Chain A
Amino acid sequence: MGLQMFVTFNPWNLLLLFTALECSEASSDLKESATSTAQHVPNAWFAAAGSEPDERISVFELDYDYVQIPYEVTLWILLASLAKIGFHIYHRLPGLMPESCLLILVGVLVGGIIFGTDHKSPPVMNSSIYFLYLLPPIVLESGYFMPTRPFFENFGSILWWAGLGALVNAFGIGLCLYLVCQIKAFGLGDINLLQNLLFGSLISAVDPMAVLAVFQEARVNEQLYMMIFGEALLNDGISVVLYNILIAFTKMHKFEDIEAVDILAGCARFVIVGVGGVLFGIAFGFISAFITRFTQNVSAIEPLIVFMFSYLSYLAAETLYLSGILAITACAVTMKKYVEENVSQKSYTTIKYFMKMLSSVSETLIFIFMGVSTVGKNHEWNWAFICFTLVFCQIWRAVSVFALFYVSNKFRTFPFSIKDQCIIFYSGVRGAGSFSLAFLLPLSLFPRKKLFVTATLVVIYFTTFIQGITIGPLVRYLDVKKTNKKESINEELHIRLMDHLKAGIEDVCGHWGHYQVRDKFKKFDHRYLRKILIRKNLPKSSIVSLYKKLEMKQAIEMVETGILSSTAFSVPHLAQRIQRTKRLSPEDVESMRDILTRNMYQVRQRTLSYNKYSLKPQTSEKQAKEILIRRQNTLRESMRKGHSLPWGKPAGAKNIRYLSFPYSNPPSAGRDARAAESTDDDSGDPGGPSIKFSTHSRVSSLQKRPQTQEVIPMRRLHRGGKTFNFGYQRNASLEEDVGAGRRAVLRPKPLFYTVDEEYESGRESEEESSAVGSRWTADHGHSREHHKSHSSLLRRK
């Protein structure tokens, strides 16, 4: 199996390797010749003219220096991308090891090549490139795709854990290493306390993003996932803040001069930097959300605004020595909700993908740098330091996990079991963040920098490979509590009821809990923020939007499976029913079913899924389009055949209300549809099925169809002793039925759906017009009723 992947892997890589080798060869040749003469001497391979300089015009010339940097960078990125493709082609591999393993290997490979061919200095990462260009996209992406509700529900725990955990780790490791350094035998006596602390702070920067993909495969419970995610999010920021403070300390004083005042100032600075960064981010988030309110005519620049403002928040915060990372995270989180509603569908997709792309590129480059550093001469190996570093990292992580969670469990409604804590402990995988910080240590202040870099690399390799690969099996072995989020209206209703109930009871008790805070925030949000920041303030109810989503799903299923829908309806019944209206043999039914099952789609499941390396594909959009096309075809055919549908009532304006707004405004339909679609509970992939196309078609094709009845399918079926002849029931008659107070009885819905399916699959030739009409009414009445109600929901504001 591994060989298979390798085989696909190889040809591309070989090609690339070859190209890379050629380039390096070329450049090294060029180096030699360049040192001798000032002009470019044509390379022996390609020269067609004479070798005297300036005598002949050379037909072929090689100027590698000019393009070296961009050329190599592009090549590296391309190499990493190809490796990723290869990685995913072999299906089982992503579940086995995190993708960062792969990237490290690619980096080492490139490093090896560069080292082996004795290349001129490759582009070296320096402080400004890293902090200004490489880091922001990564942080922005993780902030943007964060699932908000679970995050804020666990906010206290996450903050407690990430913040204190980082501090405990940093100081613990630093102090222990200092003590180790004091032992004369190891020859580490010249590393003072401050340097050790600094090393501790940078080595405690965890990068568990790698692990999240594995978690997702294993579908661990939401709380656990959220803790790790939250830690990943905040950890970078906190480490960098700590790092900067300690660097400032190192620059400022000699060790002996540091007084208590300075330490207090350091602590205060820590807090200010963190909080200030967050405030900055929030401010910028609001500004950008506000601006996107007005961009409807220039939708092409919407992604630009989003990115520029985020980046600006980062830079502005950095100017004031506040934490740019926390700023950009806060900006992304704040801005996301409002921006999503304001921007057009295409901009929204663009933003998502572009963000992923940028962060991918950044990460790749950092790993390449890491690989290049690995294979090189600038290492210093010291057994004691490195081994103790590894040991202390693990010990202190364990200590911090168990101690901190012991405390926070007392306050949590959902305590973390020991198993969960073990998993959290084990997911302490270091990554690119630590490496970068180590690499950027100023050599002047840290004469033993090489040692630090080596130690960091060892820790990274160890944790990424060994822990990264074994955490999957560990999760399965420990049988961690799984998530079972399934999407159902009932669930949504119940959860909503619980929220209200709990808020109410808390209010009665006088207890200030989570739900209260959330409630108050939502009220504030609705009353003020949304009015200012959102273009068309459409009230969303998560219940309604979920319901619509499920309707959509059911419609899709109905088209696909016809007879086999979730509330299963057995074939004999169908056949029996059908025979009463038209002569359709069971064989025909079977053949239709076959046709449909062959073209089955997968309906998208909503799971707490955030994978750093991939976005969930938007299958439902395509499906919606497909359904639309089919419907349109059948519609057109029916109209052509001249089936008259005797509609009693003329079209009242009240009755024809569709999801979209005035017909002249189709592009907005998508946005509004999406606005109505997005739910409060943001999952990692907030793109709901876009019913833009379907509503648009309905608008155009069903303009003249008045609605004649109150559509509750069950009800209709109940009163229908006449099986399918309810096409022409007027509103009035049904109303009086309702008025009679008859108890509504539930019938299996798909009964008439399946019948409609007959219609859909285009067997009109055998149908009677009345049956067609009735079914047509039934189906469209039903769906239109929803649209009517939903659009009324949307239209009023």
Chain B
Amino acid sequence: MGAAHSASAEVRELEGKTGFSSDQIEQLHRRFKQLSGDQPTIRNLRKGPSGLADEINFEDFLTIMSYFRPIDPTLGEEQVELYRKEKLRFLFHMYDSDSDGRITLEEYRNVVEELLSGNPHIEKDSARSIADGAMMEAASVCVGQMEPDQVYEGITFEDFLKIWQGIDIETKMHIRFLNMETMALCH
């Protein structure tokens, strides 16, 4: 932990950027070191298509984790809305692999296929048709009535927000960063 102590200015900077407290940063740093084997970066073990980073350093790690912080309900409406949007943007980027601002049918299909990939009995076709159905639904929610010649390009971020209107992201997308010490030791 020498690095953290001597670079407390760094910690404070990270605190400011990500909103974690210094204790949490220290804990996460410990975890990071465990995962990375004391290297400065974690390598991406999966040989994915381009667009995925090859390695991430601690700051990236923290940034990602910061998306999962619980929203403080005492903040004002706007702040809460802002945080919510941030989380949803994170999620949106997960779907939108080529980062063009739209989730196209192909990308959506990939997501569904991956979700169902754990189940060996589902064929690609069914995954695809599910994705299509979902896309259809999204289209109906976002655009409403469509002309027969109209082509639905993909889900934009605004549409995404609309779809997520009813779903409670606060309860789902956050982790209480407590008790990590004991668990980290268990692994």
Q: B135 near A746 (CB under 8 angstroms)?
A: yes
Known: A415-B73, A569-B145. A486 touches B126 (CB 8 A): no
Known: A494-B164, A498-B172, A793-B122. A510 touches B132 (CB 8 A): no
Q: Bound complex: CA of A788 vs CA of B137, how far in Å? A: 22
A480 beta carbon closer than 8 Å to chain B: no
Interface of B is mostly: helix
Q: B183 near A568 (CB under 8 angstroms)?
A: no
Residue of A with least CB distance to B169? A498
A650 beta carbon closer than 8 Å to chain B: no
Q: B175 near A511 (CB under 8 angstroms)?
A: yes
A493 beta carbon closer than 8 Å to chain B: yes
B151 beta carbon closer than 8 Å to chain A: yes
B50 beta carbon closer than 8 Å to chain A: no
- Chain A 709-748 near chain B by CB (<8 Å), digits 1 or 0: 0101110000000000000000000000000000111111
Q: A539 near B145 (CB under 8 angstroms)?
A: no
Shortest distance in angstroms between A224's beta carbon and chain B's nearest beta carbon?
13
- Chain A 572-589 near chain B by CB (<8 Å), digits 1 or 0: 010001000000000000
Q: Bound complex: CA of A379 vs CA of B132, how far in Å? A: 69
Residue of B with least CB distance to A745? B151
Residues B134-187 near A (CB distance < 8 A)? 134-141, 144-148, 150-152, 163-164, 166-167, 169-177, 179-180, 183-184, 186-187
Interface core residue of B64, B94, B111, B125 (most chain A CB under 10 Å)? B125
Q: B179 near A511 (CB under 8 angstroms)?
A: yes
B73, B121, B133, B176: the one contacting A792 at CB < 8 Å is B121
Segment of B10-18, B75-83, B112-120 in the binding face: B112-120
Q: Bound complex: CA of A513 vs CA of B169, how far in Å? A: 17
B141 to chain A: which residues have CB within 8 Å? 490
A639 beta carbon closer than 8 Å to chain B: no
B137 to chain A: which residues have CB within 8 Å? 488-490
What is the size category of the interface that chain A forms with chain B?
Answer: 35 or more
- Chain A 476-500 near chain B by CB (<8 Å), digits 1 or 0: 0000000011101111011111111
Q: A414 near B171 (CB under 8 angstroms)?
A: yes
Interface core residue of B34, B65, B148, B152 (most chain A CB under 10 Å)? B148
Q: A796 near B121 (CB under 8 angstroms)?
A: yes
Residue of A with least CB distance to B163? A490
Shortest distance in angstroms between B62's beta carbon and chain A's nearest beta carbon?
11
Interface core residue of B116, B134, B139, B184 (most chain A CB under 10 Å)? B134
Q: A550 near B133 (CB under 8 angstroms)?
A: yes
Q: A567 near B167 (CB under 8 angstroms)?
A: no
A77 beta carbon closer than 8 Å to chain B: no
- Chain A 764-786 near chain B by CB (<8 Å), digits 1 or 0: 00000000000000000000011
Q: B166 near A484 (CB under 8 angstroms)?
A: yes
A664 beta carbon closer than 8 Å to chain B: no
Q: A745 near B177 (CB under 8 angstroms)?
A: no
Q: Bound complex: CA of A611 vs CA of B129, how far in Å? A: 35
Q: A511 near B115 (CB under 8 angstroms)?
A: no
A511 to chain B: which residues have CB within 8 Å? 175-177, 179-180, 183
B58 beta carbon closer than 8 Å to chain A: no
A790 beta carbon closer than 8 Å to chain B: yes
What is the size category of the interface that chain B forms with chain A?
Answer: 35 or more
Q: B187 near A567 (CB under 8 angstroms)?
A: no
B97 beta carbon closer than 8 Å to chain A: no
A544 to chain B: which residues have CB within 8 Å? 116, 122, 126, 130
Q: B126 near A567 (CB under 8 angstroms)?
A: no
A470 beta carbon closer than 8 Å to chain B: no
Q: A510 near B133 (CB under 8 angstroms)?
A: no
- Chain B 59-89 near chain A by CB (<8 Å), digits 1 or 0: 0000011001010010000000000000000
A36 beta carbon closer than 8 Å to chain B: no
Q: B130 near A489 (CB under 8 angstroms)?
A: yes
Known: A714-B132, A746-B152, A751-B148. A493 touches B123 (CB 8 A): no
Known: A493-B134, A500-B115, A746-B151. A513 touches B94 (CB 8 A): no
B52 beta carbon closer than 8 Å to chain A: no
Q: Bound complex: CA of A658 vs CA of B128, how far in Å? A: 18
A790 to chain B: which residues have CB within 8 Å? 126
Q: B129 near A789 (CB under 8 angstroms)?
A: yes
A494 to chain B: which residues have CB within 8 Å? 91, 163-164, 167
Q: B167 near A547 (CB under 8 angstroms)?
A: no
Q: B35 near A508 (CB under 8 angstroms)?
A: yes
Known: A568-B145, A789-B126. A495 touches B172 (CB 8 A): yes
B135 to chain A: which residues have CB within 8 Å? 746
A568 to chain B: which residues have CB within 8 Å? 144-145
Q: Bound complex: CA of A794 vs CA of B141, how far in Å? A: 31
Q: A749 near B136 (CB under 8 angstroms)?
A: yes
Q: A509 near B134 (CB under 8 angstroms)?
A: no
Shortest distance in angstroms between B103's beta carbon and chain A's nearest beta carbon?
11
A512 beta carbon closer than 8 Å to chain B: yes
Interface core residue of A489, A491, A509 (most chain B CB under 10 Å)? A509
Q: Bound complex: CA of A470 vs CA of B19, how far in Å? A: 45
A502, A541, A569: the one contacting B175 at CB < 8 Å is A502
A512 to chain B: which residues have CB within 8 Å? 179, 183, 186
B148 to chain A: which residues have CB within 8 Å? 569, 573, 577, 747-748, 751
Q: A413 near B171 (CB under 8 angstroms)?
A: yes
A570 beta carbon closer than 8 Å to chain B: yes
Q: B68 near A743 (CB under 8 angstroms)?
A: no
Q: Bound complex: CA of A275 vs CA of B79, how far in Å? A: 45
Residues B88-105 near A (CB distance < 8 A)? 91, 94, 104-105
B25 to chain A: which residues have CB within 8 Å? none
17 A-B interface contacts by CB (under 8 A): A413-B176, A485-B166, A493-B111, A501-B94, A502-B68, A502-B173, A510-B180, A510-B183, A539-B121, A573-B148, A713-B132, A714-B132, A746-B135, A792-B121, A793-B122, A793-B123, A797-B121
Going nearest first, the 8 A-B pairs with the smallest beta carbon separation are: A789-B126, A510-B184, A746-B152, A567-B140, A489-B134, A510-B183, A498-B172, A789-B125
- B residues in contact (CB < 8 Å) with A: 28, 31, 34-35, 64-65, 68, 70, 73, 91, 94, 104-106, 111-112, 115-116, 119-123, 125-126, 128-130, 132-141, 144-148, 150-152, 163-164, 166-167, 169-177, 179-180, 183-184, 186-187
- A residues in contact (CB < 8 Å) with B: 411, 413-415, 484-486, 488-491, 493-502, 505-506, 508-513, 539, 541, 543-544, 547, 550-551, 566-570, 573, 577, 710, 712-714, 743-749, 751, 785-786, 788-790, 792-794, 796-797
**17 extra interface residue pairs, beta carbon distance < 8 Å, beyond A498-B173, A502-B172, A505-B64:** A414-B171, A415-B73, A489-B134, A491-B166, A493-B130, A510-B180, A510-B186, A512-B186, A513-B176, A541-B119, A544-B116, A567-B139, A573-B148, A743-B105, A744-B105, A786-B126, A789-B129
